[in-house]
Amino acid sequence: MGRVQVGDKAEFSRMENGDFSDSELIHHFRGVLVAVSAGDRENYDELVGYLHPKGNLNPDEVAILVTTLKALSGAASYIDSVHHEALLFAVSRMSLWNYGTDVMDALLELIISLAASNGKYIDWCLEMLVKHFVPPYYLLDSLKQENGIDRKTKVLSRVHAALKEIADLVPLAPLRLSPIVVQKMPSVFSKEPEIVMYVENMLKLESGAIGEIIGSTMLPALVDRLLDLDVEIGWDGILQEDGKCIFEMELEDFTEFGDDENCDSMPPSELLNRRKLQGNLVVDKVDSLMVLTFLHLESCQSSGRLAEVFDVLLGSFQKTVLNAYKSKFTQFVMFYASALDPEGCGVKFAMVLTDMFCRDVNPPITRMSAVAYLASYLSRAKFLSAALVTNILQSLVNWCYAYCKSHNFDMNPRAHQVFYSGCQAVMYILCFRLRSLMDIPRLKLQLLNMPMEAIWKHKLSPLKVCLPTVVVEFLRQAKAAQFFMMSETFVFNDMLESDFSKAFGGMDRLDMFFPFDPCLLKKSESYIRPHFVRWSKVRTTYDDDDDNEVSDSGSEASDDDFVDRNAMDMIDDDMMVSVEGLDFTPDLNKMSITPKNSLKYGFETRCTRMPARIRPSTSPESL
C-alpha cells in the first residue's frame, strides 16, 4: 500500500479541523506507521504526542483524541511492537478512569482491534484491561461518592464487555487471561479498597460469560490470597493465654465487637484480645474479602451454581487450607458454603473429611488435620443432622477399634499420632453432641452399641494421651449419661495440656487445633452466626432438665439453641445420602438423615463458660 505524503503538519491540521473522512484518516495513519520503518518519524512523533496523558481536556482536545484512537483502531494491523514501541507505551499509560465515555469507548475499540489483529498482542491487551480492575490510587476514595460509583460502573462494565468480545474473537484468550488475573492480584500489603475491588472483578469474571473457562482458577486464587493474609495475622503478642480449660469461656459469648458497654462482665484478658484485633489492617482486609466471598456464594446458590463452585473450593481446601495450621478464618468459606446447602455441600464436606482420615494412603499429618477439621465441623455446624453425626462417629469409632485390635502395644504418643487424633475427635464431638444424641432412642442405641469402652481401656491409653480438658469434659458427660463405666480415675490437676498430648500433637500442635472455633471477624461472624453452635448454648448430660434459662453470654434471640426449630434447617430422615465419586464405607453410603423434629430435646441455652486459651497454629477460642 502506498504511503500518504504529509508535509508541514498539514495533514494533522486537516484532522484537527475535521476535514478527513473516517476512511481517509485510517489510510493516513497507516501511512504514518509505515513511514517509521523507513526512518520518517516526524508525523509519527506528533501522533504519539496526541496520546500522552494530559490534564483536563477541553472539548476540542477530547474530539481529537477520540478521532486519533478510532483511526488507530482501523490501522491496528500496521502497528509493530518494535517500530512503534513509543505509541504502545503511550497507549498503555492511558487510563479509562481519567476520561469520559467517548474516550473510553475509543480506547477500548483500539485494544480490541489490536488483540484481534495479531496474536502477539493478546497478553498486552488483556493486561491493559485487567489493570483497570482498580482505579489509580488517587481515585480510590472518590469511589465512595455518588459520582465515583457512577464512574466505577461505567468503567468496569466496559472492561468486562471488552474481555468478553476479545474472548469471542480469539477463543484462546480466556486461557491467557487466567494467569494474568492471578499474577496481577494485589499483594497482602495492598490497601483494603484496592484488593477488595480487584476481587470483586475476579468474582465477576468467575460468574460471567467466560466463567466456564476461567472460573476454576479465580476461586482458588482468592482462597490462596485469603490464606496469605490469614497467616500474616499472628496470635503471638495479640491474644493472651489466660484460660486453663477448653470448656470455660467462649470468646463469642459477647456479641458486639468493640462495644465496651456490653463487655462489663468480660474478663480483662478477653476485652484486651478483642481490642487488639480491632484496627488490625490485615484483619480488616480478611474480613472484607470473606464477606465478599460469602455474598458470591449466596449468588451462586441463587443461580443454581453452588454445587459446581463448592467442588472447586473443596479441591482448593484440600490442596492448601487443610494443612495450613496457622489458618484462622479462611476455612469458614467452606463452612458457609456448606451451610447454604446442608443436604448437598454440607454432607459432602463431612464425608470427604471422614474419607481423608480413614484412608491409610494419606500422610499422617493430613489425616490428623482432616479429623481435627471433621471434629470441629460436626460439633459446630448447626445445620448437620444428628443422624449424619452419629453415622460419622460410627465410622471413626470403627476405625479406632480396628486400630486397637491390630496394634496391641503400650501407650506411645508419637508412634500412634493418627490413632490418638481420631480418639480425641470422637470425644470432642460427643462433648457437644452427646446429650442431643442420647435423647433420640434409635441414635442412643447406635451409640451404646459402639465399642468405645474397649478403645478407652486399651493399652494404648487414649484417655491418658489426649488433651486433658477434652478428656475431662467427655468423661464428665459420659458419667452423667451412664454411657459407660470407667474403673480408673484420671487426675489431671486442671491441666489444659499434658506432655503426652504435646507429643501426639507434634510440632504443629494438632492436639489443640480446633479450626471452626468462633470466628472473630466482626462482619464475617454475622454471616456465620445463624449456622453456628456456641458452647454456651449446648445442653450437656449433666445439666438439670429444668434449667432452660438463656445463658449469660449476651447472645440475641436469633442465635437459638442447637434445636431443629426451623424445619428448613434440617434434612428429612428418609433422604439417603449419596455422593458420586467418593469411596466410603457401607455405613456412610447408606446413612439416613434425622427427622426434622428429632432434636427437639437437643442443645438448648444454659449458663456456662467456654474456651479462652490461645496458642499459635490454632484457632483462638478452644485454646
pLDDT tens digits for range 54-75:
778 899 999 999 999 999 999 9
What's the pTM value of the predicted model, to 2 decimals? 0.80
Q: Looking at residue 485, what is its pLDDT?
A: 65
Q: Looking at residue 50, what is its pLDDT?
A: 87
Q: Looking at residue 257, what is its pLDDT?
A: 44
Give the domain range for residue 120: 2-187
Residue 151 has pLDDT above 80, yes or no: yes
Q: Looking at residue 21, what is its pLDDT?
A: 78
Mean pLDDT of 452-480: 90
Quote the CA–CA distance of 168 and 530 in Å, as a whole number.
43
Which class for 574: exposed (0-12), middle (13-18), buried (19 or more C-beta within 10 A)?
exposed
Is residue 509 in a domain? no
Is residue 402 in a domain? no
Q: What is the mean pLDDT of the chain?
A: 79
Q: Looking at residue 280, what is its pLDDT?
A: 84
Is residue 105 in a domain? yes
Is residue 378 in a domain? no
Cell representation of residue 272: 484486651
Residue 505 has pLDDT above 90, yes or no: no
Among candidates 338, 424, 456, which has minimal Cα distance to 388? Answer: 338
Is residue 192 in a domain? no
Is residue 126 in a domain? yes
Band of residue 509 on the pLDDT scale cut at 50, 70, 90: low
Q: Could you give the count of Cα atoms lying within 13 Å of 174 in the half-sphere of its Cβ?
A: 21
Q: Looking at residue 611, what is its pLDDT?
A: 38
Is residue 156 in a domain? yes
Q: Looking at residue 545, what is its pLDDT?
A: 61
Q: Looking at residue 143, what is its pLDDT?
A: 85
Residue 312 has pLDDT above 90, yes or no: yes
Is residue 407 in a domain? no
How many domains are contained in the chain?
1
Q: Looking at residue 325, what is its pLDDT?
A: 73
pLDDT tens digits for range 208-248:
989 888 888 999 999 999 999 998 887 654 443 333 445 65
Cell representation of residue 577: 445420602
Q: Looking at residue 54, what is its pLDDT?
A: 75
Quote the CA–CA distance of 444 and 377 in Å, as a whole number.
21
Percent of the chain whose predicted confidence (pLDDT) is above 70: 72
**How far apart, in Å, are the Cα atoms of 192 and each of 159, 186, 205, 285, 578?**
22, 10, 20, 5, 41
Higher pLDDT, 536 or 333: 333
